[in-house]
Amino acid sequence: MKELELVRALTFDVFGTVVDWRGGVIREASALGRAKGLDADWSKFADLWRSLYQPAMSRVSSGELPWTKLDDLHRMNLMQVLDKFGIAGLSESEIEDLNHAWHRLDPWPDAIPGLNRLKRKFILVTLSNGNVALMVNMAKRAGLPWDAILGAEVAGHYKPQPQAYLRTAELLGIAPRECMMVAAHNRDLVAATSCGFHTAFVPRPAEHGPDQKTDLRPEAEYDVVAADFLDLAKKLGC
Amino acid sequence: MKELELVRALTFDVFGTVVDWRGGVIREASALGRAKGLDADWSKFADLWRSLYQPAMSRVSSGELPWTKLDDLHRMNLMQVLDKFGIAGLSESEIEDLNHAWHRLDPWPDAIPGLNRLKRKFILVTLSNGNVALMVNMAKRAGLPWDAILGAEVAGHYKPQPQAYLRTAELLGIAPRECMMVAAHNRDLVAATSCGFHTAFVPRPAEHGPDQKTDLRPEAEYDVVAADFLDLAKKLGC
C-alpha cells in the first residue's frame, strides 16, 4: 500500500464502469418505440449502437475524421442503426432526444454511495470518452458527485490514446502516478498503466447483458481489484 | 423574466466574485511572515501581487508569452513581489506553498448557501482565469459545489477574450444566451454580453479592501443585479 499513498485523484471511466449504458439505452429506445408504435428488439438495438462506438472513435484517432465529440459520433452511428432496423419517420427532435439517451443513464446501485465515500479522500474526475455536456447532464440528473469533468473532449484525444490520460493529469496539476484510473475495462487500464497511472479494476459483469464474455476478470496486474465502488472505497481506506 | 427562462447554466467569475482573494492572500502571506520572522505590510503585498495579474494575462493574450497557466503567472509575479519587498531566503517549497495561497481562498459568507440553492435549478460552472488544478483544489477545500470546472485553461484563452466565454458555452452544449455570467466586475460582464451571454452583477465592495473605488456599481445594463448569491438565488426563482 506504500506506493498507493501517492494517489490524490481517481479518474473514472464512465460508460459501463459508473453507469449502465445498456439498460439505459434499452429503456429510452423502447419508450420511444411504445410512443411511436414501433416494434423491435431494443436490446439488439442498444448492442448494435454500442458496437459502432469504438470504430467511430478510431476514425477520429486515426485522423480519418477531424475531432468529433461523442454526441456527434453517437448521432452518426444512430442513423446507421435506425437504417438497419428499418425505422424511418422519426422527427429531428425525436432523433435528437433518443441520441441524448446517453445523457440519461442510471448509475450502478453502488456507484453513488461509493463515490460519496471516495470523495472525502480523493479528487474524483471523469476520464471518459463522453463529451463535457454529456457528462455534466448525466451527473446533474443522476447526482454523480464529480469534482471535475475532464477526459477526451478537453484533451482533444480519445482513450486509449495516451494524451487523454496525460492531459487529464496535467490539468489536475499532478503526476500520472498520483492518479488512479478506475475502470471495468482491461484495455483502458492497460493504457492508463502505460501512462504511469495507478489502476483499479471494478468488473461490471452485466454491462453487456446476460451473455457477457469480456472483461469478467483482470487480464493484467492492477493495483486494486474491487467488487464494486463500496469495496473500492474500503480497499482505499475511505 | 421571459428571456431569462432560457438560462440553463450560470458561469461564475471566481476571484473576488465567489472567494475573497485579498483576505486569503493576506492570511497566508502573514502566516509565512510570522513563521519566518519577516515583517511587512501584507495587505500591500497582496495588492501588489494582484496588480500584476491583468498585465501578465495580457502578455499571453497579446501573444508575447505562449499559453501560460495562472499558477505559473502567479509564480512569475510572486518573484517580482518578493524582490520589491526585499524578501529573500525562502526555500523552493516555501515559495511554492505561498504561490498556492490562491488554491486556499475562502468563499464570501453567502457563496456556499447561495450556490447550493442555485444548483437545484442551474448548471454551475467556473468561468475563471484560474487554471483547472487551482479551481479544483479551491473547490475541494472550500466545498464549492461546481458541476464543472471550465474557463480559461480549458478554452486556451484568458477573459475577456471572447473565446473564453464561447468555448465554455460550446463545451456545455448550449448557446451563449442559455448561459448567465455571474461576476463582481463590469469588464467581465461587458465582455460576456458581447458574446451573447446573459449577465448578473453581484458587487463585492470589500474585494479590494476598505478603500475600493471600482466595481461598486453596475456600469452597463445587466439582466440581474443582486446584493449577494442568496439574493441572486431569490431573483432567479430558486
DSSP class of residue A15 equals: B
Q: How far apart are CA A14 and CA A130, in angstroms?
A: 8
To the nearest whole Å, the CA of A94 is away from the closest chain B CA by: 18
- Say whether pLDDT at A177 is over 90: yes
**A238 CB near a chain B CB, below 8 Å?**
no
- Indicate if A147 and A183 belong to the same structural domain: yes
Residue A124, H or E segment: strand A123-128
Query: Quick one: average pLDDT of A173-201?
Result: 98
Do A202 and A159 contact (CB within 8 A), yes or no?
Answer: no
Do B180 and B10 contact (CB within 8 A), yes or no?
Answer: yes
- Say whether pLDDT at A218 is over 80: yes
- Indicate if A97 and A192 belong to the same structural domain: no
Specify the pLDDT at position A3: 84
- Indicate if A213 and A122 belong to the same structural domain: yes
- Indicate if B57 and B146 belong to the same structural domain: no
Give the residue from A180, A57, A50 showing the smallest Cα distance to A105. A50
Handedness of CA B155, B161, B163, B164 (dihedral sign): positive
From A103, A127, A146, the end of a domain falls on A103
**A126 CB near a chain B CB, below 8 Å?**
no
A176-192 as b/e: b if 16+ CB within 10 A: bebbbbbbbbbebbbbb
Contact A71 B154 (CB under 8 A): no
Q: How far apart are CA B225 and CA B186, in angstroms?
A: 11
Helices (H) and strands (E) in chain A, counts: 11, 6
Indicate which CATH number applies to the domain containing A10: 3.40.50.1000
Specify the pLDDT at position B136: 98
Specify the pLDDT at position B35: 96
- Indicate if A177 and A160 belong to the same structural domain: yes
Question: Best of A172, A174, A178 to disrupt the B interface by mutation (most B CBs within 10 Å)?
Answer: A172
To the nearest whole Å, the CA of A137 is away from the closest chain B CA by: 9
Chain B residues within an 8 Å CB radius of A132: 148, 150, 171-173
Grid coordinates given for A143:
447526482
Do A224 and A213 contact (CB within 8 A), yes or no?
Answer: no
Q: Which of B125, B149, B171 minimises the CB distance to A153? A: B171
Q: Does the interface predicted TM-score (ipTM) exceed 0.90?
A: yes
pLDDT digits (tens, 9 = 90+) for A98-156: 999 999 999 999 999 999 999 999 999 999 999 999 999 999 999 999 999 999 999 99
Chain A residues within an 8 Å CB radius of B153: 171
A92-130 as b/e: b if 16+ CB within 10 A: eeebeebbbbbbbbbbbebbbebbbbbbeebbbbbbbbb
- Indicate if B117 and B221 belong to the same structural domain: yes
- Indicate if B121 and B97 belong to the same structural domain: no
| Total number of domains constituting chain B | 2
**Rg, Å, chain B Cα set:** 18
Query: In chain B, what are the helix, strand and coil shares in percent, each to the nearest 5?
Result: 50, 10, 40
Residue of B nearest to A126 (CA): B148
- Indicate if B85 and B151 belong to the same structural domain: no
Q: Which residues pair with A231 in a beta bridge?
A: none
Residue of A nearest to B155 (CA): A154
Q: Say whether the peptide bond before residue B160 is cis (omega within 30 degrees of 0).
A: yes
Q: Which of B132, B148, B171 minimises the CB distance to A171? A: B132
**B147 CB near a chain A CB, below 8 Å?**
yes
Specify the pLDDT at position B1: 53
From B72, B103, B134, the end of a domain falls on B103
Query: Quick one: average pLDDT of A180-195?
Result: 98
Residue B92, H or E segment: helix B92-99
From B79, B103, B127, the end of a domain falls on B103
Q: How far apart are CA A71 and CA A176, in angstroms?
A: 28
User: Pairing relation of β-strands B9-12 and A224-225?
Assistant: unpaired
- Indicate if B144 and B211 belong to the same structural domain: yes
Indicate which CATH number applies to the domain containing B89: 1.10.150.240
Q: Could you tell me what percent of chain A has a pLDDT over 70?
A: 99
Is A217 buried (19+), middle (13-18) or exposed (0-12) by CB count in 10 A? Answer: exposed
> How big is the A-B interface in CB pairs under 8 Å?
56
Each residue's pLDDT expressed in tens, for chain B with a length of 238 residues: 568 999 999 999 999 999 999 999 999 999 999 999 999 999 999 999 999 999 999 999 999 999 999 999 999 999 999 999 999 999 999 999 999 999 999 999 999 999 999 999 999 999 999 999 999 999 999 999 999 999 999 999 999 999 999 999 999 999 999 999 999 999 999 999 999 999 999 999 999 999 999 999 999 999 999 999 999 999 999 9
Q: How many CA atoms lie within 13 A of A211 on its CB side?
A: 3
Grid coordinates given for B57:
494575462
- Indicate if A109 and A99 belong to the same structural domain: no
- Indicate if A113 and A230 belong to the same structural domain: yes
Rounded to a whole number of angstroms, the distance between the first and last alpha carbons of chain A is: 14
Q: Could you tell me what percent of chain A has a pLDDT over 90?
A: 99
Chain B residues within an 8 Å CB radius of A147: 136, 139-140, 149
Q: How far apart are CA B69 and CA B59, in angstroms?
A: 12
Length of chain A: 238
Q: Which of B71, B149, B173 minimises the CB distance to A133? A: B173
Specify the pLDDT at position A15: 98
Specify the pLDDT at position B3: 84
Specify the pLDDT at position A1: 53
- Indicate if A95 and A136 belong to the same structural domain: no
> Is residue A2 very low, low, confident or very high in pLDDT (cuts 50, 70, 90)?
low
Q: Which of A123, A134, A135 minimises the CB distance to B136? A: A123
Q: Say whether the peptide bond before residue A113 is cis (omega within 30 degrees of 0).
A: no
Give the residue from A11, A8, A128 showing the smallest Cα distance to A74. A128
Q: Which domain holds residue A141?
A: 3-20+105-235
Q: How far apart are CA B229 and CA B238, in angstroms?
A: 11
